[in-house]
Chains A and B, each alone.
Chain A
Amino acid sequence: MTHLYELQGITREYGNKKVLDVPELRIEKGRIIGITGPNGSGKSTLMRILAFLEKPSSGDIFFKGKRVRDIDESLRRKATLLLQESRLLKRSVFDNVAYGLKARGKTEGLSSRVIDSLSIVGLDPSKFASRSWFELSGGESQRVALASRLILDPEVLLLDEPTASIDAGSAAIIKSAILETRERLGTTVVTVSHDLDWAYGISDEVISMFSGRMHSLGPENIIHGPWERAEEGTLLKKLDDGQVITASGFPGSSKTAVIDPEDIIISIDTPENISARNAIEGTVTRMNLENGSGRILMTIAAGGQVFYARITTLSLQKLEIIPGSAVSIIFKATAVKWI
């Protein structure tokens, strides 16, 4: 099977610092891939490489099965990236949305295509098309920026933090516009986001990045140090409310650990006589239906730490958990993995 993108041994260095190290990545056509991870994990660099805006320091990129050697605008025009700091051009909304088509010399039916694109992102063309760039709110600007990409009928739509700093209403509209475009054109979408609910809500698959590398473990439960060494070689992390996370093994240089949401069991009672070393009490703050798995991603706050656990809708109904419910988060010390 030919993948839309195939990355082999890709690295990117700025000076002596390696910011990206991706031994292998394959992206199938028509999929929505979510990429999550903390700041500085290399997400934006990867996006610029996928958008052909930046060349990797080493490694090979195959696009539609062909090795990418030289990057020119014909290749760059196959993918479009909505930047994290999306800038509107200093011109009207209409001219912003029309820019990409004009650059390609495709001016036939331009007005109707601009109107369609603005409608897809929930902006009334009769109100917004003639507005200047400075007459828009943050959410409206982001939607105009997205419309400027959607009008291009892109094969690949790359979104770098598309919902950062915008209201929930705009985020929901952006989500439906992306899903509609994928449905209509079979567009491949790669979206970077800090917002796990957004990433899981829209993506078929979520990839986690940390320190420039991709991890098979999810990005949800990242636990930073300091850790205290305890008896029997275990390590302890004290939470703000005095509860303790117990981990085993040897921490890496980052002193950062993750817990796979799949390794967490949720209980509505305080468990007794269990083999797992960790039973943390917390409160459910959010529950979101995942697009890819069809399961519920539950967010639980405990002692200043946020935990994520994944359960089925059947379990949710059985346990009768709602946001605000007190639950216990149960996991083994060996479930705490060092990265």
Chain B
Amino acid sequence: MGYLGEGFLTAFRILFSGQEETFSAIITTLKVSTFSILITLAVGVPLGFLLGYYSFPGKNACRMVVDTLLAIPTVVVGLLVYAFISRSGPLGSMGLLFTLKGIAVGQFILGLPVVVSLTASSTEQIENSVRMTLMTLGASPGQLAMSSLWESRYSVIAAAMTAYSRIISEVGVSMMIGGNIKWRTRTITTAIALETGKGQFAEGIALGIVLLFIAFAVSAAVSLSRRRASS
């Protein structure tokens, strides 16, 4: 157990001394995950709302596909995106392999089903009494749709946080698409995998602590949103 304790002590020293390599991975992670979640939300929330709010032929099949994609392994996403953006792939000319943009594409694919599915569920769960209330106050069909989405905003925020948790903690996409290139595409998770492989537990633990801290902050935000949504 001695090396674990020593690892924690060294980890804190690394964090408080501001070691550049470690902070490069942290900043890269925050940069790419923030970009990914913003794109994911911009596409996922409208799609999720359409899927939850309106009835159309094939709606149940769409829900089933989206719900199935919730469980897609990150390495499978990494593999598929790699196949598309590698030099010999159909999108190889875009030069996305081993770039942050390439990682963002993979993380977008990973986060999209989460946002779509949870937004659709929260929109479906808008009680009939809310719709009736809006109608009795004179809402037009457009106002009814927008106000319904606004009424489920806390659930949508919770969906966003859940997707962000999945994005920031994934390792498969970042490793396969990003290539774990120091100073460029190395993220917290790929750095942890690398440092652990090299037997450098202290660096791994330091990055793990940062990841846990981010996860805790996201989880607290989700919890707060859920409380608001249910009150």
A interface residues (Cβ-Cβ under 8 A, vs B): 51, 53, 73, 76-77, 80-83, 85-87, 89-90, 99-100, 103-104, 134, 148-149, 152
Contact = CB atoms under 8 A, between A and B. Distances in A.
Interface string B131-151: 011111111110100010011
Contact of A100 (B129, B137, B154, B228): B137
A134 B138 CA distance: 23
A83 B136 contact: yes
Closest 8 CB pairs of A and B: A100-B137, A77-B138, A81-B136, A134-B231, A87-B129, A87-B133, A85-B129, A103-B138
A148 B137 contact: yes
A80 B139 CA distance: 11
23 contacts: A53-B135, A53-B136, A73-B139, A73-B140, A73-B141, A76-B135, A77-B138, A82-B136, A85-B129, A86-B133, A87-B127, A87-B129, A87-B133, A89-B134, A89-B151, A90-B150, A90-B228, A99-B134, A99-B147, A103-B138, A103-B139, A103-B140, A149-B137
B130 interface: yes
A134 B229 CA distance: 11
A90 B137 contact: no
Contacts of A83: 129, 132-133, 136
Nearest to A134: B231
Given A103-B143, A134-B231, A53 B137 contact: no
Interface residues of B, number: 21
B128 to A, nearest CB: 9
Given A83-B136, A87-B127, A87-B130, 20 more contacts: A51-B136, A53-B132, A73-B140, A76-B136, A76-B138, A77-B138, A80-B136, A80-B137, A80-B138, A82-B136, A87-B129, A89-B133, A90-B150, A99-B147, A100-B138, A103-B137, A103-B138, A103-B143, A104-B138, A152-B138
Interface of B: 127, 129-130, 132-141, 143, 147, 150-151, 153-154, 228, 231
A83 B150 CA distance: 21
| Residue among A82, A86, A87 with max Cβ neighbours from chain B (10 Å) | A87
B149 to A, nearest CB: 12
Contacts of A80: 136-138
A76 to B, nearest CB: 6
A47 B129 CA distance: 14
Contacts of B136: 51, 53, 76, 80-83, 149
Contact of A99 (B127, B132, B137, B154): B137
Instruction: Specify which of B133, B140, B154 lies most central, judged by the most chain A CB atoms within 10 Å of its CB.
Output: B133
Nearest to A51: B136
A177 to B, nearest CB: 17
Q: Which of A73, A148, A149 has the most CB of B within 10 A?
A: A73
B140 to A, nearest CB: 5
Contacts of A87: 127, 129-130, 133
Nearest to A89: B151
A66 B16 CA distance: 78
A37 B69 CA distance: 51
Contacts of A104: 138
B68 to A, nearest CB: 31
B148 to A, nearest CB: 10
Contacts of A76: 135-136, 138
Contacts of B147: 89, 99
Nearest to A99: B137
B151 A90 contact: yes
Contacts of A82: 136
B52 to A, nearest CB: 17
A53 B139 CA distance: 12
Contacts of B231: 134
Chain A CB count within 10 A is highest, among B129, B136, B139, B147, for B136
Nearest to B133: A87
